[in-house]
Structure 1
């Protein structure tokens, strides 16, 4: 049966499990927007700015591991998408971007907003193509989606505005079985031989190891290994575990680098080794990853193992049966953990006003459900969270490699759409929120009961402290802020101004129970983060 290209696209997206598209309407995508309005399988989540649409898609892909989709107008709509696409590309989140293009007979002319989209997008996409004929749409769409899912990357399609209404007889392409690669047995055995010889092992885990929490914990216990998070890998293992040592690098445990210097074997599991400068040259490195894209090629690796991670860890657990950890090393691990816990407790106790960042995190920790989703913006608030939040099972979303301000609110909104019955909290600075504040209206319109906690210190605090540490004048770091609580109220939220610890404790309880979007404007001390202070 003939149907429009727009209808066919939506059929194929639904067949592959897509349930929502984030975007902003423009005349080059009217045809797809009209088709969306005439069906029930896929929701169209309209936002105020295309960067928010792409960030929401990136956050959805990070939450679910499945393909997420965003849509925009040609020209400035596409350029606005790029910030969110950069986040998805750098963090290897499978996202498909669909953008309108000039009509077929106007491509390459001086037609309004017409540019060579593939040339523009190529830096932040693993696949980008122009659909030039109605009967090519299904095949190109399937190739884009498959590339995103297999390579964990961004794919992009430019579709001429008049092509959406054109008719096609082509059927949707069925979703394929994604391949699962078996690891090389020789490399697995070589790595096991290195692990069995270890006396002072460290297990370095990344966000990709979240789905393997129990096997990873069992491996650490049998092997006697301290567990260190790579940047942003919060809640991959519970902080309460006796071998869990918090993070490496910015926002992490400052005592970990010294412990790493004593390690003889470091096993990296799906870790983003952004802080590889902390990895000692004297340690033997073993890397385990699901694909070659996850390997840190800058590290000299004795045994890179690539393949089905569950199967590899199961093989190592069996091979380590009877292994006797070094009791002295286990004591060092636990001593490091206790020393860090003592330092944390000292930093977290203040009740002064304006509130200390560490104290805000301590109070927040008591009101966070074990299955909550926490969306972090980029900035000073993120480093304080990584330093002090004692996670158990929460799902923490952040812009790990792209590190874009404005990520927090879009990520929280996407998370609430995916998990409507779970608590969703956004932690942001006043600078990050200001970049996406218009979409407070989107959350209210969609009935998304998220809680936003604003670290209000009237400054780009991270930039300020870095400049001061370099002996520079912090020009451009002071912020002019509105009354965030009143802005939130004007957008249909519950808005509260917080100046004292008692107010924050009460407000967090109320926000969690209210079932409505709530914004807490927390007056925050301009305390330099320890990682950013001048030495």
Structure 2
């Protein structure tokens, strides 16, 4: 095959396209002109121009979380690179495979007082499992291959900095696909999991705690729960994995979720952790034996007292455990107790969701949402009071949920919703945000306008950083800075080319949401929200 001479920027795009990359999120800067020029000359990878680099990194992280594939973001040197860090922190914390490509000073200026120069490898060290500066055009394929293999293989952030001049130099080498990796159920047998099955068979009060890593195993978890007689609890990342009607689904635990499940969980004698590294401090059983399934051994050291760790994908392990437990005599008393807790919370949840008054109670807003949002919608949650009320009161069906799980950054909701709509244009996408979180990324309302992204943003507008206010009260500390000075969100949305709607009473919530969800344009719904103390605040 005849080789084609390409610049480094062009070769990188050809290689990334071969890896399946369809979008790169970023902000244009002069240190990346070689990459920008290459992007403008091709149509395999779409460049999504955003208003702030943190939005680019959030979108790349959200894409990686939603698809399991590689998310890619780019920025110029100096402040452009530093602005990526918040979104890269989110990807790092939630094990989302993201590649960041940043421009760097010209190769003859590295290490000097050149404007905006910083040692980017040191800058990225806390978040990037692999970070390299491309020092030669001829190393383009090798370093890009290593970065992507590392990101996808370990589900981590990687980073490449490219000097401005090198981006535009001719490069040798041909793109090549990633090598096939054989992994899967062949690594496990019923016999190899005898130790895990043996522990599980001792259970009289079993519980399953599931997270985002079990996204492909929800049906198997429900089978196991039925056979084992276990209740299922979900971390926030696991919200949406199980239908609210699932007989063993007890919802969440801790700050949000089922408030009655906490005491039940403390009584468990065997707990299976499936695809989660979250351990709800203060709610954990004291004498339970813990089995944890995850792909990477390093996840077994996050202060979880694991008795047995199983390295692998949850969906590959569970069928063997189900097979091993055939004929297991489950405790019907425990099953009945789990069902009692489920029903008790369902009654209270319905009552909370029926709270009348305006400004609207957050639980009432969640009830309106679960009545109107499509069963297969994608929900993008910002971080704040909106997160815990969604976790507590939203009765999910088959919705997918995007959230900043461990990093817990404000400003995630809008970027995540935009990324989701780009990936799944036929799906309904709803961002549930607080007024504080939205204001961190307001400029990127225009990004949705630019790319005609038909998303709905629901703003819980209580004119405060309510979660912080609640925590200050619990800590018996005085408050300052928690009141917000808000714009008129409807007028602001309209100024950005969106449709803006506002509910004027709690009775109107469903009708206004239905109008928004059926509008073929970016739509913002401003809901005046009561400043309600969240009952599980710690």
TM-score tier by shorter-chain length is over 0.9
- Distance in 1 of aligned mates of 2:247 and 2:301: 28
- Are the aligned partners of 1:184 and 1:306 in contact in 2 as well (CA < 8 Å)? no
Cα-to-partner distance string for 1:362-400 (whole Å, 9 max, x where unaligned): 001111111100000000011000000111111000000
- Are the aligned partners of 1:485 and 1:519 in contact in 2 as well (CA < 8 Å)? yes
Alignment of 1:33-112 (within 5 A): 33-112=36-115
Greater displacement, 498-507 / 513-522: 498-507
- Distance in 2 of aligned mates of 1:250 and 1:68: 30
Cα-to-partner distance string for 1:244-265 (whole Å, 9 max, x where unaligned): 0011221121211211122111
- Distance in 2 of aligned mates of 1:157 and 1:409: 26
- Distance in 2 of aligned mates of 1:22 and 1:179: 31
**Equivalent in the alignment of 2:220:** 215
**Equivalent in the alignment of 1:18:** 21
SS of residue matched to 2:507: helix
**Equivalent in the alignment of 1:2:** 5
- Distance in 1 of aligned mates of 2:447 and 2:229: 48
**Equivalent in the alignment of 2:477:** 472
Q: Are residue 389 (structure 1) and residue 394 (structure 2) matched? A: yes
SS of residue matched to 1:57: helix
1:509 to 504, 507, 514: 514
2:431 to 426, 429, 433: 426
- Are the aligned partners of 2:452 and 2:522 in contact in 1 as well (CA < 8 Å)? yes
Q: Are residue 457 (structure 1) and residue 462 (structure 2) matched? A: yes
- Are the aligned partners of 1:231 and 1:249 in contact in 2 as well (CA < 8 Å)? no
Q: Are residue 408 (structure 1) and residue 393 (structure 2) matched? A: no
- Distance in 1 of aligned mates of 2:189 and 2:330: 27
- Are the aligned partners of 1:205 and 1:227 in contact in 2 as well (CA < 8 Å)? yes
Shift of 1:185: 6.8
SS of residue matched to 1:278: coil
Q: Are residue 291 (structure 1) and residue 283 (structure 2) matched? A: no
Q: Are residue 115 (structure 1) and residue 140 (structure 2) matched? A: no
Cα-to-partner distance string for 1:41-64 (whole Å, 9 max, x where unaligned): 000000000000000000000000
- Distance in 2 of aligned mates of 1:197 and 1:141: 49
Q: Are residue 338 (structure 1) and residue 343 (structure 2) matched? A: yes
Cα-to-partner distance string for 1:427-482 (whole Å, 9 max, x where unaligned): 00110010000000010110001000001011001011111121111111010000
- Distance in 2 of aligned mates of 1:310 and 1:482: 46
- Distance in 2 of aligned mates of 1:17 and 1:510: 36
- Are the aligned partners of 1:183 and 1:305 in contact in 2 as well (CA < 8 Å)? no
1:417 to 414, 419, 422: 422
Shift of 1:173: 2.9
Over 3 Å counting, the alpha-carbon distance change for 1:186 and 1:475 in structure 2 is farther
Shift of 1:489: 0.1
**Equivalent in the alignment of 1:143:** 146
Normalising by structure 2, report the TM-score. 0.97
Shift of 1:183: 4.6
- Distance in 2 of aligned mates of 1:329 and 1:54: 45
- Distance in 1 of aligned mates of 2:278 and 2:488: 39
1:134 to 120, 134, 137: 137
Shift of 1:186: 6.4
Q: CA RMSD in A?
A: 1.3
- Distance in 2 of aligned mates of 1:307 and 1:504: 44
SS of residue matched to 2:77: coil
Shift of 1:346: 1.9
Shift of 1:82: 0.3
- Distance in 2 of aligned mates of 1:205 and 1:57: 24
Q: Are residue 224 (structure 1) and residue 218 (structure 2) matched? A: no
Q: Are residue 323 (structure 1) and residue 332 (structure 2) matched? A: no
SS of residue matched to 1:222: helix
- Distance in 1 of aligned mates of 2:181 and 2:164: 32
Shift of 1:497: 2.1
Shift of 1:38: 0.4
**Equivalent in the alignment of 2:161:** 158
- Are the aligned partners of 2:279 and 2:304 in contact in 1 as well (CA < 8 Å)? no
SS of residue matched to 2:132: strand
- Are the aligned partners of 1:9 and 1:141 in contact in 2 as well (CA < 8 Å)? yes
Greater displacement, 84-93 / 305-314: 305-314
- Distance in 2 of aligned mates of 1:311 and 1:436: 39
- Are the aligned partners of 1:230 and 1:272 in contact in 2 as well (CA < 8 Å)? no
Greater displacement, 129-138 / 496-505: 496-505
SS of residue matched to 2:24: strand
Greater displacement, 181-190 / 370-379: 181-190
- Are the aligned partners of 1:231 and 1:274 in contact in 2 as well (CA < 8 Å)? no
Shift of 1:505: 1.5
Alignment of 1:223-262 (within 5 A): 223-262=228-267
SS of residue matched to 1:280: coil
**Equivalent in the alignment of 1:380:** 385
SS of residue matched to 1:136: helix
Aligned residues: 533
- Are the aligned partners of 1:6 and 1:35 in contact in 2 as well (CA < 8 Å)? yes
- Distance in 2 of aligned mates of 1:377 and 1:98: 25
Cα-to-partner distance string for 1:153-193 (whole Å, 9 max, x where unaligned): 00000000011111112111322224526258766110101
Alignment of 1:338-377 (within 5 A): 338-377=343-382
1:489 to 467, 481, 494: 494
Over 3 Å counting, the alpha-carbon distance change for 1:532 and 1:277 in structure 2 is closer
